Amino acid sequence: MPNNPTIAALADDLENGRTSARKIVDACLARIADRSGEGARTFIRVDAEAAIETAEAMDRLRAAKAAPSRFAGIPVSIKDLFDISGQVTRAGSRALEDSAPAETDAVVVARLRRAGFVVIGRTNMTEFAYSGIGINPHFGTPKSVWQRNVGHVPGGSSSGAAVSVADNMAHGALGTDTGGSCRIPAAYNGIVGFKPTQSRVPLDGGVPLSFTLDSFGPLARSVACCAVLDAVLADEPIMPLHPRPIKGMRLAVPTTLVLDELDDEVARAFDRALEQLSRQGAVIERTAVPEFLDVGVMNANGGFSAAESYAWHRYLMANKGDVYDQRVLMRIMRGESLSAADYVDLITARKSLIARSAARMAPYDALVLPTTANTPPRIADLAHDDKAFAKANLLSLRNCTLINMIDGCAISLPCHREGDVPVGLMLAAPGGADRRIFELAAGMEAAIRV
């Protein structure tokens, strides 16, 4: 079995008897337990006993030719934002520790189980999913794969989700994406993260950040891996993924906002990827997308996330506000000053933004842009410097947030060279174009790493 196997490779090995679900789960548990690794910071809870029992059950079902899917027995991690029956959902916070255990699985967790995936544990995250950085003062901060001896942020909010996959502690992860929370940690850890069209995947059983913008999506090692998990989450048939030829792809590089203030490494990796795509026949056009300027205006006072998170948190904060991460609390409290009229204006403005953006993107197969403007900052540089944290957080979230605001779908692919700092390239399209995004991404996945 390769060191970084895809979900398809694992499924083939299981089908052909080259490994067993129990062996795969044992290997992941050993990685989690390795004291020299990031397991203790990556997972808030490890379900070792249940994972082993499930793996053995899947091995018996496969032997009886009754496995629920060819992926049965493959371990996945679950972001701490999701309900798992019998467990407390903390959402990366101490404020929910005394909550009652969930009575049922979140819909997406139940769908993963139904396909035979093994839930190996709950992953760490930014408290209440409110940051693109990934620092958690309560449960520790897992380090990005980049320069472990230095310690760089993992990206948020699905921080542990990304690290669990990058470090072979799981072979896929369930995350959420309100402003980039699947794509940012994927970019910072050299893996793939997908944000689906929101309406395709039900939000039941997940702690909300913004019910207007929240999407539930996968993080994994390849485009095809994410496509499999996405189909399961959306309760759609798992179809073969046919990569689109690069020649003839129609791609638009927005020149509005998304190329501003790029770290040098991001700019170089992105330009190199565009060069490779152009050389192989993609038609790439740089074009202004003035609609993106509306997003900053809409979010100036906190936007949907502040308004909707404040509505959900206001009673909890009254009793437990002192145990919140103060950086998170400050963002949530911005919603207190937003009036009902402000909120209605936001809804109206977003409806117009979605329509105008879809018209702007219609001539192209996808937008192509850097996932984040920055590379993963050092944890030590942000831990106690609120100004540096705010700047880094903005640069991590800026490009991804644009796609949530236009109700789009998007994927982040690694585009850096082996050994270089991780950099993500994002493909995005209007809502409903999920399959197209997967096909385009699968077509260019290898080419942009040259």
Per-residue pLDDT tens over the stretch 16-43: 999 999 999 999 999 999 999 999 999 9
Residue 450's pLDDT is 82
2 or 158, higher pLDDT: 158
Find the mean pLDDT for residues 238-242.
Answer: 97
Q: Say which of 93, 164, 181, 222 is annotated catalytic.
A: 181
Considering the domain boundaries, does residue 88 fall inside one? yes
Find the mean pLDDT for residues 246-267.
Answer: 98
Find the mean pLDDT for residues 173-196.
Answer: 98
Q: Say which of 79, 131, 210, 412 is annotated catalytic.
A: 79
Instruction: Give the chain's domain count.
Output: 1
* Long-range CB contacts for residues 83-86, cutoff 8 Å, separation at least 24: 83/109, 83/205, 83/206, 84/109, 84/119, 84/122
> Of 37, 200, 231, 215, nearest to 129 (Cα)?
215
Residue 3's pLDDT is 79
Find the mean pLDDT for residues 128-154.
Answer: 98
Residue 346's pLDDT is 98
Considering the domain boundaries, does residue 246 fall inside one? no
Residue 2's pLDDT is 56
Cα→Cα distances 359→256, 356, 363, 411, 446, Å: 16, 5, 8, 20, 30
Considering the domain boundaries, does residue 397 fall inside one? no
- Whether 79 sits among the annotated catalytic residues: the reply is yes
Considering the domain boundaries, does residue 380 fall inside one? no
Q: Is the pLDDT score of 412 beyond 60? A: yes
Considering the domain boundaries, does residue 318 fall inside one? no
> How many Cα atoms are found within 13 Å in the side-chain-facing hemisphere of 56?
6
Considering the domain boundaries, does residue 35 fall inside one? yes
Considering the domain boundaries, does residue 127 fall inside one? yes
Average pLDDT of every residue of the chain: 98
Give the CATH number of the domain where residue 136 resides.
3.90.1300.10
Contacts with 108 (C-beta within 8 Å, 6 or more apart), sequence order = 82, 174, 201, 202, 205, 206, 216, 233
Q: Say which of 77, 144, 157, 412 is annotated catalytic.
A: 157
Residue 172 β-bridge partners: none
- Whether 157 sits among the annotated catalytic residues: the reply is yes
- Whether 210 sits among the annotated catalytic residues: the reply is no
Q: What percent of the chain has pLDDT over 70?
A: 100
Residue 242's pLDDT is 97
Find the mean pLDDT for residues 398-412.
Answer: 98
Res. 134 pLDDT band, cuts 50 70 90? very high
Domain carrying residue 192: 7-233
Q: Is the pLDDT score of 1 beyond 50? A: no
- Structure pTM? 0.98
Considering the domain boundaries, does residue 390 fall inside one? no
Residue 280's pLDDT is 98
299: DSSP letter? T
Per-residue pLDDT tens over the stretch 79-124: 999 999 999 999 999 999 999 999 999 999 999 999 999 999 999 9
Per-residue pLDDT tens over the stretch 327-375: 999 999 999 999 999 999 999 999 999 999 999 999 999 999 999 999 9
